[in-house]
A and B are shown apart, each in its own frame.
Chain A
Amino acid sequence: MGGTWTLTKMRVRLAMRNRAFFFFSLVMPLIFLFGAVTFLGRGRTEWVGYILGAILTTTVMGSFWGLSVQLVTFREQGILRRFRLAPLGAAPMLASSILSNYFLVIPVVVFEIVVCRWAFHMQSWGNLWAMFLLVTVGSATFSALGLIVASVTNTMQETQMINNLIWMGFLFLSGATIPLAIFPAWLQRVALFIPAQYLATGLESSTTRLATGYEVLEDVAALLLGLFVAFEVSRQLFRWEPEAKVPRNAKLWVLAALVPFLIFGAWESTMGNRLNRIQQNFQTLRDRSMSIPVPPAH
């Protein structure tokens, strides 16, 4: 545990010294927030909570890129080799990515919530406990998913390419950028299998206070299970050496990481009522408002 904490402190410090990281992880989400509330919310306070949910989702999902990608650079540059000489396993190295991402995300999330409440007159604080829970588990899960990509790719270029593809899926099928409720039915069903959908639905419900605690717990459970599996998969696939080959069974491990979301997705599409809930929530917000805002775009 000591090693994890030591590494976490170092990585937070390094991230704060990196201007690019600072801009993309801390400044950019705030720019999105101001842009979305000002231009898409068009001053209608009923929608600020909903927009905050979407912005929080993209902020938290950003952990998918975050410091997990940094491990690829560390491996490429031979930095991980030096750490390998120390009495330190793969788990502290991976856990430090998750923890440092979390500590870097929290101030941004707090700032976004405060700005929405005080500057954009969000109607209530929303369900802060649910938000805290979802941000915590969500940040860890998306960091762990990023770690899997970092483990199976060999170069930074490759990592960015794969990350971009997955990121697009997360952004557009989660409901964070385009409300799920306006999707065709078949696409809504596909979204049930996307990890980001659980985060987006949970956060939007929490910021708008349109979900019960139990309903949000379901989102937390899906993300938590995803976190445990993704962490174990990334630990199994972790490579210290730049020339170490990706294990032959890597594809099976990557598929294993998707199992929790496949299970939740299958359950929701056959027995659950998540899609109805999403539809109802969106309708409620619509009714409260005079007009439908243009969905936030990224």
Chain B
Amino acid sequence: MGEPVIQVENLFKSYGAVEALRGVSFAVEQGEVFGLLGPNGAGKTSTVEILEGLRTPDRGIARVCGLDPEKSGERFKERIGAVLQSTSLPDKLRVKEAVELFAQFYHRRADTDKLLKRFQLDEKRNAYYSHLSGGQKQRLALAMALVNDPEVVFLDEPTAGLDPQVRREMYDIIEELKREKKTVLLTTHYIEEAERLCDRVAIVDQGRVIALGTPRELKHSSAGTTRIEVRLARPLRNGMLAGLEGVADCREFDGTYVLHSARPPQTIVALVKQLESESNELQSLEMFSPSLEDVFIELTGRRLRE
């Protein structure tokens, strides 16, 4: 394996009294789709924006394609493409003009007509930016990120706020980038997105990487338990569910009891018996195979989107 395309070592960044990054480190290999998964305010955007050259770290090393994003200027920008968390363009700029405008800033240029077709913007080519839907704006942002056929693509929450159908369209596009062997750094707080798209994931919380690996490795590391979520008619005494057969961990989030069980059938039987003996009722019960959400809960005691 060669030099990592993206290298982050011990990155620190504060905004006044708020410590956004507290020693973030990871490396991304050529052609890899790497995800930064974490709740809002975890430090994902700060990390990405340092790598894009938009922010200056207080301490630590950030390298992309062997270049310092902050100091390498145009040489660096020629090699990257990025979708910001929120992209804004002048209202009266037409779709085609936006793509062509940005293409003209680069030495290496992709075919803008092909890009418009690829991102299903061909029919909207003459529409003003202000007339586009959220999904169309995001597709345009992606098209603009690829006008220079970049080696590395940064996608900061590319599907945030989009409806499920548009989100799936974005997934297809990102998978296409993966097939093209582009190196992609993606930030998200959607578990499904990280599991489906990323070769490796760094789980970030409160400015630190708290777990790193392939989605499979991370899920295995979470003791391979099944998550059972139950809602009850009446609240239970503290710790009562934790003692049920097979339960490795039990926490309560907003009236929902989340159990991690190594032996789900036995746990459910024990739970039903327990509730009967207490004249309590089961309102709902859902079972989930291990996910990155469980890893996050295990490591932080909180849900990803709390």
Interface residues of A (CB under 8 A from B): 2-3, 6-7, 10, 13-14, 17-18, 74, 77-79, 81-82, 84-89, 241
Q: Decide if B93 touches A78 in the complex (CB within 8 Å).
A: no
CB distance from B296 to the nearest CB of A (A): 29
Residues of A within 8 A of B88 (CB): 77-79, 81-82
Q: How far is the CA of A17 from the CA of B93 in the complex (A)?
A: 9
Q: Decide if A86 touches B77 in the complex (CB within 8 Å).
A: yes
Contact of A85 among B73, B77, B86, B92 (CB under 8 A): B77
Q: Decide if B93 touches A14 in the complex (CB within 8 Å).
A: yes
B160 at the interface (CB under 8 A from A): no
Interface residues of B (CB under 8 A from A): 52-54, 73-74, 77-78, 80, 82, 84, 86-90, 92-93, 97, 101-102, 104-106, 144
Q: How far is the CA of A77 from the CA of B77 in the complex (A)?
A: 22
Residues of B within 8 A of A241 (CB): 54
11 more CB-based (< 8 A) A-B contacts, given A86-B106, A87-B106: A6-B101, A6-B104, A10-B93, A13-B97, A14-B92, A82-B84, A82-B87, A85-B53, A85-B84, A87-B105, A88-B105
Residues of A within 8 A of B78 (CB): 87
Q: Decide if A6 touches B92 in the complex (CB within 8 Å).
A: no
**Can you identify 7 A-B contacts, CB atoms within 8 angstroms?**
A2-B105, A3-B105, A17-B92, A82-B88, A85-B77, A85-B84, A89-B73
Interface of A is mostly: helix
Interface of B is mostly: loop
The residue on A at minimum CB distance from B55 is A241
| Best-surrounded residue of A3, A87, A88, A241 (most CB of chain B within 10 A) | A87
Q: How far is the CA of A86 from the CA of B54 in the complex (A)?
A: 11
Residues of B within 8 A of A78 (CB): 84, 86-88
Q: Decide if A10 touches B52 in the complex (CB within 8 Å).
A: no
Q: How far is the CA of A7 from the CA of B93 in the complex (A)?
A: 12
Q: Decide if B105 touches A6 in the complex (CB within 8 Å).
A: yes
Q: Decide if A82 touches B106 in the complex (CB within 8 Å).
A: no
Q: How far is the CA of A241 from the CA of B54 in the complex (A)?
A: 9
Q: Decide if B73 touches A87 in the complex (CB within 8 Å).
A: yes
Q: How far is the CA of A85 from the CA of B78 in the complex (A)?
A: 9
Q: Decide if A2 touches B104 in the complex (CB within 8 Å).
A: yes
CB distance from B51 to the nearest CB of A (A): 12
The residue on B at minimum CB distance from A15 is B92
Contact of B54 among A6, A14, A81 (CB under 8 A): A81
Residues of A within 8 A of B106 (CB): 86-87
Residues of B within 8 A of A88 (CB): 105
Residues of B within 8 A of A86 (CB): 77, 102, 105-106
Q: How far is the CA of A266 from the CA of B144 in the complex (A)?
A: 52
CB distance from A271 to the nearest CB of B (A): 46
Q: How far is the CA of A241 from the CA of B77 in the complex (A)?
A: 17
CB distance from A11 to the nearest CB of B (A): 9
Residues of A within 8 A of B53 (CB): 85
Using known A-B contacts A86-B102, A88-B105, determine if residue A74 contacts B90 with beta carbons closer than 8 Å: yes
CB distance from A71 to the nearest CB of B (A): 12
Q: How far is the CA of A13 from the CA of B82 in the complex (A)?
A: 26
CB distance from B58 to the nearest CB of A (A): 16
Residues of A within 8 A of B104 (CB): 2-3, 6
Using known A-B contacts A3-B105, A85-B52, A85-B82, determine if residue A14 contacts B90 with beta carbons closer than 8 Å: yes
CB distance from B73 to the nearest CB of A (A): 7
| Best-surrounded residue of A13, A81, A82, A88 (most CB of chain B within 10 A) | A82
Contact of B97 among A10, A79, A81, A82 (CB under 8 A): A10
Q: How far is the CA of A140 from the CA of B22 in the complex (A)?
A: 47
Q: Decide if A82 touches B90 in the complex (CB within 8 Å).
A: no
Q: Decide if A85 touches B54 in the complex (CB within 8 Å).
A: yes
Q: Decide if A82 touches B89 in the complex (CB within 8 Å).
A: yes
Q: How far is the CA of A85 from the CA of B147 in the complex (A)?
A: 12
CB distance from A79 to the nearest CB of B (A): 5
Q: How far is the CA of A84 from the CA of B92 in the complex (A)?
A: 20
Q: Decide if A18 touches B92 in the complex (CB within 8 Å).
A: yes
Residues of A within 8 A of B84 (CB): 78, 81-82, 85
